[in-house]
Structure formats: C-alpha cells, structure tokens
Amino acid sequence: MYTIIMKIIKLNEVASTHTYLKEHIKNNTFEEAMCIYTNYQTHGIGSRGNTWSGIKGNLFFSFVISQNDLPMDLPLQSASIYFSYILKEVLEENNSKVWLKWPNDFYIDEKKIGGSITNITQNLIYCGIGLNLKSVSNEYGKLDIEINSNKILKSYFDKLESKYLWKQIFKCFKIEFQHSQKFQATIDNEKVSLKNAVLNSDGSIDVNNKKVFSLR
C-alpha cells in the first residue's frame, strides 16, 4: 500500500497556516505531502470567509496531500468530515470527550472549540484545522485534555496514512450526527436548524428540501 510521508514544519508565528502553505506550494510546486503548524496565528481563515485566530498557545495546522492519497470511496465533497473525524478519534483516544458537529466543527459539550476548512486545487487537497487549547472567550470552549501537539499530529497523520475507508468513518459519524441535530448550521449565509436534517451516505444532508454538502 502506498504510504503518505508527511513533512511537518513548525512556525513560531504565522498569519495563517493555510495561506502560508498555499503560497509555498504555488511558489515551489507540490513534491510531497506537507503540514505547517503553529501555536500562534494572527489571521486564520475560517469557514465562509470568517477568521479564526485564537490566542497564543492554541493549535493551528494545515496540510496538503494528493487526491490520490485519499481512499477510493471518499466523496471529495465530504473530505472535511473525513479529516475532522479522524482527528476527533485521535483526541478521543487521549480521553477527550470532543465530538464533531456537522460538517466541520469540534465541540466540547455545547461549545465550539475549533473547526476545519478543506479546499481542492487541481488534484491537491488542502485542509486547515484550528483547536482551542486555551480559553479564548465565553462564547467558545477549549479542549478538555492537555495535549502534546507534536504527538497528536504524529498520531493524526499515522491514522491518515492508514487510509480508513469512508464507509468506516461514516458508520461512526452517522451515530454521532444526532448531536448535531440539536444545533444550527450556516447554509447560504443563514442559520438553519438541523433538527430535521437527514444525513446521506455521501456526507451531505437533506434539509429544508435542499441537499447540502460539507465542503467549505
């Protein structure tokens, strides 16, 4: 089986790991899977053009892999769910009670503690993830365990290399989706209740007579 060899680079500070990584690939071309991470970014990119900066001491990382490195059964539109759920499992193995709200938000109990954003450029998949390890504000929560970012990233990319099939990830996420139904999601710039949303096998949801995918 082909193995993903992830080159990991730590930066002390960066405006955005996602922007930095994209610029690096643009200027140097893609030669290998790469991850950029930091504990302090000043202008992070969130979903729908929002910012996700946080404070110093949190975990921010972005990585790029070839589309060929993904499991064959993964719907590309649900890559955010796939990448996020694998990290959720790694954190859970370290005794966290984190759960994943559709499509790409990490929660502890009722509060968001982070999220992911995934983009596709040609045949490259870019994913950026931010997690609050420290308190940011009353609106947001923080991870409920102490972690070593280096070890967590290593465990995460080890799992990613295993190429878990989408059907394996979806089987677990489908059970967890019931938690999402207590919340809202932003669809077409509007807050929409997920109470009656139906999760499809491709990771999309049917809500208000509309099919919505998770790719952000």
pLDDT per residue over 138-159, tens digit each? Answer: 899 999 999 999 999 999 999 9
Whole-model pTM: value is 0.91
What average pLDDT does the chain have? Answer: 90
Neighbours of 48 (CB within 10 A): 9
Query: Structure tokens of 183?
Result: 């919340």
Report the candidate in 202, 208, 166 with the shortest Cα–Cα distance to residue 184.
Answer: 208
CATH topology of domain 7-164: BirA Bifunctional Protein; domain 2 (3.30.930)
| Cα 155 to Cα 70: distance, rounded to the nearest angstrom | 17
198-199 and 190-193 beta bridge pairing: unpaired
pLDDT band at 137 (very low <50, low <70, confident <90, very high): confident
Q: What is the rounded average pLDDT of the residues 117-136?
A: 93
* 41: nearest Cα among 16, 61, 12: 16
The domain segmentation of the chain, as residue ranges, is 7-164
Specify whether the backbone of 79 is left (phi greater than 0), alpha (psi in -120 to 50) or beta: alpha
Rounded distance between C-alpha atoms, residue 156 and residue 145, angstroms: 16
pLDDT digits (tens, 9 = 90+) for 12-55: 999 999 999 999 999 998 989 999 999 988 865 655 445 555 67
